[in-house]
Amino acid sequence: MAKAFFIIDVQNDFCEGGSLACAGGAQVASDISRFLRSFDANGEANSSFDYVIASRDWHDADNDNGGHFAQAGEAPDFVNSWPVHCVAGSVGGEYHQNLDVSLIDFHIQKGQGKPAYSIFEGRTPEGEALPDLLLRLGVTEIEIGGIATDYCVLASALDAKNVGLKVSVRTELCAGVAAESSVAARSKMAAAGVEVK
């Protein structure tokens, strides 16, 4: 039985200066890196986790990704449609520079051609679906940090709980789109049996 840490969407477009920025995103990138190194005197990855798995929105550049991107000339509603963000291969789609990518064991890409919020909707670059990867690794417990509390962190935590994993979310390692919806997300996660730290 293995334990994993999920880093959710700590990407340039979701941090300050990005096209869909969350306040505190850059700090979350730094804090996650510090947290994952914090229990190892040699500066190596946190020994309390067997694996670190990071997701990224990795949207197509040549379409609206199933309505996820607002159409040209239309304002996004910030519920179902959003500004263009995290396009595959773009600077905005890359991990934020404050995140130490050497700590990541597996990368998950999601949202290619369609909306995707949960890490469970993604695959490795080699095409392995996340549930298959977790089964192969024997992961039964996860902790989560990342962006955004009220969207992709929420969706990922609920999906993890739904497949029978033991799940906790470290709120000090998360940033949200808005304060009110982040509070609601924490309540929803707790009601679903997620440990909200």
Report residue 79 as tokens.
Answer: 């519920």
Between vectors from CA 140 to CA 137 and to CA 141, what angle results, nearest 5°? Answer: 115
* Active site (annotated) includes residue 22: no
Q: Which of 9, 100, 150, 159 is catalytic?
A: 9
* Active site (annotated) includes residue 152: yes
Q: Give the phi and the psi of residue 113 in degrees, each rounded to 5.
A: 85, 0
* Active site (annotated) includes residue 9: yes
Report residue 96 as tokens.
Answer: 């934020």
Sheet containing 51-57: order of strands: 106-110, 51-57, 2-8, 139-147, 166-175, 195-196
What residues contact residue 58 under an 8 Å CB cut-off, 6+ apart? 86, 88, 93, 109, 110, 111, 112, 122
What residues contact residue 196 under an 8 Å CB cut-off, 6+ apart? 168, 169, 171, 186, 189, 190
Q: Which of 57, 110, 159, 174 is catalytic?
A: 110
Q: Which of 22, 86, 152, 174 is catalytic?
A: 152
Residues with active-site annotation: 9, 110, 152
